[in-house]
Chains A and B, each alone.
Chain A
Amino acid sequence: MDLDFSFLNWDVLTGFVLKGLVFSVQLTLIAMIGGIALGTVLALMRLSGKKWLVIPAAFYVNTLRSIPLVMVILWFFLLIPLMIGRPMGAELSAIITFTVFEAAYYSEIMRAGIQSVPKGQVHAGYAVGMTYGQTMQLIVLPQAFRNMLPVLLTQTIILFQDTSLVYAIGAYDLLKGFEVAGKNFNRPVETYLVAAVVYFVICFSLSMLVRRLQKKIAIIR
């Protein structure tokens, strides 16, 4: 079979693919910020030592981590409209799903990060008269974030790859953009191939950057 990439000109790329790329990046960034925020709260709940906080947080994290992401996407797409009483677009549904789902994974990273800060730091915070909130915000979390930054970013690269699974509910992401272009020009083989190359280039360069960052942080510490 002969491959012919000539149809993939600038107009096709901006017409079909760009919209998808923008959504994939948007979804990744929103789910990352929301997921890290929610994940930090969950991690603090699990480390609080109070049963009524530990149990719900552990249930949340363990449940979501045992279900395939595709099923979680389908669940939310089914449940959100039932709860709010009106239909919701696939894109918005995906954003909510990914934020909630990724929070479970980020929280496990944050938990390890917070536990990596020596206990003496917490005691020191209390000793100078800080409250729990101040100790966390000013002493523990900044160090935990710094220790965990490479792992958080690696998780974000996985998150970016996982955004392709919104295929299950038909949201228009980067992969869908290539697929639609391929159907329009009857060239599915070429477009899937280019899609793979684009994903690889993005994810590989990001993981190289993370590796460099990791080395930099390791020297400072």
Chain B
Amino acid sequence: MDSWDWQVFCKDTIDGEVRPSCFGQGGDITYLDWMLSAWGWTLSVALLALVVALVVGSVMGILRTTPSKLLVAIGNAWTELFRNIPLLVQVFLWYHVLPSLIPPLKQFPSFILVVFALGFFTSARIAEQVRAGIQSLPRGQRYAGLAMGLTLPQTYRYVLLPMAFRIVIPPLTSESMNIIKNSSVAFAVSIAELTMFAMQAQEETSRGIEIYLAVTGLYFVSAFLINRIALFIEHRVQVPGMIGGH
């Protein structure tokens, strides 16, 4: 292996010339420009998927703790379905299979399809955490809420969920870091995110080690950022004297 060549990032992606500023001018882009935009795609896919996963996962997790057998069965089926198919296969289902079964989906860009694939996949894991969080509460809390004359939705809204969500924040933090890592499968349907960039830039420049190191570094930074944000939220919402509180 020859010595390092970090100048590869300053090269123009078309003519291969090194640009002094490392950024392309007038519509041309360097590998650095490309990598930063790829980072943006990775973060966008991951964060949007996280929103989908949190919403759907919370609903499914709550359904699994309700007294209704039907709702529990729906929540369980959802979790098993999305947990037992590999993420890459789910991405292909969204990208290749669903649009031909449901034609209106053809108008969606592949970016949106990947967001749903990753979001639904992660929702199964979040549903599991939310269910465990609600079930970890003493049963008396639910009975107390109902005995006071609250309806079931009110019991969830005012009694169970405020505690359950605080309990599940730590596992949700690690799930949010997983979603950054899992967003890398979007390469398979040609989303211009970091892994796709790594594969293509490696091929074009033959400076694989430098490119992979930079991409791996960006994944580290992204996971670290998510971790900090999650810790910040955890501190903001904690109840004094309760789990994680001071």
Binding site for B on A (CB under 8 A): 1, 66-71, 74-75, 78-79, 82, 161-162, 164-165, 167-168, 175, 188-189, 192-193, 195-196, 199-200, 203-204, 207
Q: Is the CB of B84 within 8 A of A207?
A: yes
Contact A162 B86 (CB under 8 A): yes
Q: Report the separation of the CA atoms of residues A189 and B212 in the bound assembly, to the nearest whole angstrom.
A: 33
A199 near B84: Cβ-Cβ < 8 Å: yes
**A79: B residues at CB distance < 8 A:** 209
State whether A68 and B90 are in contact (beta carbons under 8 Å apart), knowing that A78-B202, A207-B84 are contacts in the complex.
Answer: no
Which residues of chain B have C-beta atoms less than 8 A from A68's C-beta? 180-184, 195, 219
Render B203-224 as a binary contact track against A, CB cut-off 8 A, 1 for contact: 0000011001001100110010
Tell me, rounded to whole Å, the shortest Cβ–Cβ distance linking A165 to chain B: 6
Interface size classification for chain B: 35 or more
CB pair B88–A175 under 8 Å, yes or no, is yes
Say if the beta carbon of B187 comes within 8 Å of chain A.
yes
B223 near A168 with CB under 8 A, answer: no
A196 near B212 with CB under 8 A, answer no
Q: B80 near A: Cβ within 8 Å?
A: yes
Our pick among B86, B100, B182, B220 for the contact of A175 (Cβ within 8 Å) is B86
Q: Is B147 an interface residue (CB 8 A)?
A: no
| Contact indicator B84/A75 (Cβ below 8 Å) | no
B181→A69 contact, CB < 8 A? yes
In the complex, the number of residue pairs spanning A and B with C-beta atoms less than 8 Å apart equals: 100
A165 to B177, CA, bound (A): 19
A1 touches B100 (CB 8 A): yes
How far in angstroms is the closest Cβ of chain A from B54? 21
B152 in contact (CB, < 8 A) = no
Which residues of the other chain, A, contact B177 by a CB distance below 8 angstroms?
66
* Chain B interface, DSSP helix/strand/loop, else mixed: helix
Asked if B93 and A192 sit within 8 Å, CB to CB, the answer is yes
Top 4 nearest A-B pairs by Cβ distance? A68-B184, A161-B86, A203-B84, A68-B181
B215: nearest chain-A partner, CB-CB: A71
- Are A193 and B97 in contact, with the CB atoms below 8 A? yes
Residues of A within 8 Å of B103, CB to CB, are: 1
Which chain A positions have C-beta within 8 A of B209? 78-79
Q: Within the complex, which residue of B84, B87, B199, B208 is in contact with A168, where a contact is CB–CB below 8 Å?
A: B199
Residues of A near B220 (CB, < 8 A) are 66-67
Q: Would A200 and B84 count as touching, CB distance under 8 A?
A: yes
Residues of A within 8 A of B198 (CB): 71, 74
Interface centre among B85, B101, B181, B212 (most CB of A within 10 A): B85
Minimal beta-carbon separation of B195 from chain A (angstroms): 5
Complex-state Cα separation, A164 to B90, whole angstroms: 11
Is B237 close to A, CB under 8 A? no
Interface status of B188 (Cβ within 8 A of chain A): yes
Contacts of B84 in A (CB 8 A): 161, 199-200, 203-204, 207
Query: Shortest beta-carbon distance, A131 to chain B, in Å?
Result: 37
Q: Which of B153-176 contact A (CB under 8 A)?
A: none
Contact with A along B125-165 (1 / 0, CB 8 A): 00000000000000000000000000000000000000000
User: Is B185 among interface residues, defined by CB-CB distance under 8 A?
Assistant: yes
